[in-house]
Amino acid sequence: MSINLDIDPDRVADILREAAATEILPRFRTLKSHEISEKNPGDLVTVADKASEAFLTARLRSLIPGALIVGEEAHEDRPEALGEINDADWSWIIDPLDGTHNFAHGTPRFAVIVALARRGETAMGWIYDPNGDHLAMAQAGAGAAIDGVRMHLDTTAPITEMTGSLGNKFADRLRARAVSPDAPPIPKAFLRYRCVGLEYMDLARGGLDFARYAGKLMPWDHAAGVLLHAEAGGHAAMTGDGRIYRPGTRPPGDALLLAPDTAAWTELNTLMS
């Protein structure tokens, strides 16, 4: 993808760091009960989420005047913005505090995620881990880096040596099926961080071999991470028909499966079908 826009990726990275330093980290493990609420049952939001999104929205809007802003918290008031991503010349897609459940419970696994989309395709992405001070950046066609080090996934391990992110119910289903004498081998370990941004960073590093995400697949969770993984050499596609993930499309009923390469994706998809 050609990006005809003068955006300094390091400036955007600095904005993520500023948001974390001013709006998120000072509130970590200091939240009062009235500063935590539920958007839906089990779906938490805190004052840090809202403050971080306001900060990011203001700073990013100034970089591209007129760009569409699609934020996780603003979505509650303006859900139609999701449908505008495909047609917008430029869209900032913001997850101001990924891993809110962890954050609200004092667990240091959370991140800030921003993607920049061009007419429904992710052009650039950033993921920031405030606790480790690690920054992942990717640009379509130009590669991916974490803390300035280029990421490139190595040769795929056998399925039985893989560790991946998988929901508990689906993992239990695979384990139950594996007891059959003629069952195919399954990966050695399944886990979830409850912070998809940090999972995407480990997918790009090779610390996680695969991941499967289902449900609504909101773009603030996945746009930046899918690009990061792809630019590191990984393969991601929808399990239903192999379509490539796009943040401007919401494919119901399918799951997003990520693997180190196409062969591993095909093997994992067959196993999980």
The total number of structural domains that make up the chain: 2
- Tell me, what's the pLDDT at 181? 82
Q: Which domain holds residue 234?
A: 159-272
Bridge partner list, 46? 36
Residue 92 C-beta-side C-alpha neighbours within 13 Å: 26
Indicate the residue among 129, 150, 171 that finishes a domain: 150
| pLDDT band (50, 70, 90) for residue 1 | low
pLDDT tens column, 213-233: 998 899 999 999 999 999 999
What's the CATH code of the domain at 222?
3.40.190.80
> In the listed set 120, 150, 180, which residue is the last one of a domain according to the structure?
150
| 251 secondary structure, DSSP code | -
**Inside any domain, residue 101:** yes
Q: Give pLDDT tens digits for 92-139.
A: 999 999 999 999 999 999 999 999 999 999 999 999 999 999 999 999
Q: Please say if the pLDDT value at position 3 is more than 80.
A: no
Q: How far is CA 110 from the centre of its chain?
A: 11
List the structure tokens of 100.
Answer: 């809110």
Mean pLDDT (the chain) is: 92
Shared domain check, 251 and 214 = yes
Q: How many CB atoms lie within 10 A of CB 259?
A: 26
Cα–Cα distance list, 266 to 173, 241, 242, 260 (Å): 19, 12, 10, 11
What was the pLDDT predicted at 146? 98
